[in-house]
Amino acid sequence: MAFNPSTSLSVTLAHAISYLTRPLIVQYSATTIIKLQLVLEANLTALYAPTWVSKEPLRGSGRRCLTLSPECLPPRVIYSACLSAGVQWFDWIALLGGKEFDFFVDPGCVSVRHGRKGSPDCKLLTVWADEIPSPTAPTLATKSRTIAQQLMESEYDDEEQIFAMIAEQTKPSTQWVAPSLDRLTIPSTMRSSSPFSTDSSISASSSHSRSSSRSSNSSSGFSYSSSSPSDTTVSSTSSPKQSRRERARQARVFVDTTKTEVTPYDGGKTTVLTGGVMLGGSPVQTRTHKVNNAFTSQQWRQVRV
């Protein structure tokens, strides 16, 4: 409970005066005790007011300390009250215990100390204590954001949400992983349509004929043997139906050698050779024969001379 300085002082003094005058009930009348209390309140208020600071209870506490002893008269503020109310001091201190003690009256606290300060038998007893208002901690002023900053943060949140939605839509459902060479297998449908035969026995029967002046053979075969592992070997015998290209390649080429007619052609003559057409005049053998005859006659003439 928080009090202003005047209220705090009056409440504290009320508890302090009640503690001092309570033992007098057994010996003095109520009128005397009330009169004593009123004078004590006026005197102590005038004594404590200059050093009374509610927010700093310990400030000026030494000045507010009253030492009461059975061996000497009390301080002036108490002794004047005894004279006004007709109370004997030595009777009063005897009712309080008959021992010397220090009486402290501070904001929110009334205490009594028996014995000298620093001695082993020194004891401090709290007669009354009130909740002292704790100093409020200074609150840091929160920096308020401007409207521009609030708009920027709002736009940033919207952009993050939009980008997250786009990434979710463009994310592929499944990831394609290229199979390794060891695990690669060729299906049976691809084996039947392979244009090349991997069996070495078929390479002899597969031939390819081409009409050319540089080729004298009727057919030329080529083969392709697979060097891949056993799990990727393609078998040509597994194809129940061959393609048109394979049937044409495997068909035996027939060459009609009886047709040797010479057909006139603009710029030369044509001669049928190995089923094709060759541009030019006479065959190669005739030219070779003439060259040999010329060389023989020339040689004979040189020998004759």
For 2-26, what is each residue's pLDDT tens digit?
446 656 899 999 999 999 999 999 9
Q: What is the pLDDT of residues 93-123, one digit of tens each?
A: 999 999 999 999 999 999 999 988 878 888 9
- Taking each helix axis as running N to C, give the angle between helix 30-48 and helix 76-85, from 0 to 180 degrees, rounded to the nearest 10: 150
Select the highest-mean-pLDDT range: 37-41, 159-163, 200-204: 37-41
Structural domain containing residue 44: 5-129
For the chain, the distance separating the N- and C-terminal CA atoms, rounded to the nearest angstrom, is 160
Query: 117 lies in a domain?
Result: yes
Q: What is the mean pLDDT of the chain?
A: 71
Query: 24 lies in a domain?
Result: yes
> Are the beta carbons of 13 and 45 closer than 8 angstroms?
yes
- Domain boundary pick from 97, 129, 161: 129
Quickly count: other Cβ atoms within 10 Å of residue 81's Cβ.
Answer: 25
pTM of the model: 0.43
> Are the beta carbons of 84 and 39 closer than 8 angstroms?
yes
> Are the beta carbons of 163 and 201 closer than 8 angstroms?
no
**Total structural domains within the chain:** 2
- Domain boundary pick from 111, 129, 147: 129
Q: Using CA atoms in the order 7, 13, 15, 18, what is the torsion angle rounded to 10 degrees?
A: -140
Q: What are the respective helix, strand and coil percentages of the chain, to the nearest 5?
A: 40, 10, 50
Query: 40 lies in a domain?
Result: yes
3-state SS, residue 21? helix
Query: 268 lies in a domain?
Result: yes
**Per-residue DSSP letter, 57:** T
Say how many CA atoms lie within 13 Å of 147 toward its Cβ: 0
- Domain boundary pick from 105, 129, 153: 129
Q: What is the pLDDT of residues 262-282, one digit of tens each?
A: 666 555 555 555 555 555 555
Q: Which CATH number fits the domain that encloses residue 41?
A: 3.90.640.90
Query: 181 lies in a domain?
Result: no
Q: CA-CA distance, 112 to 231, in Å (whole number)?
A: 105
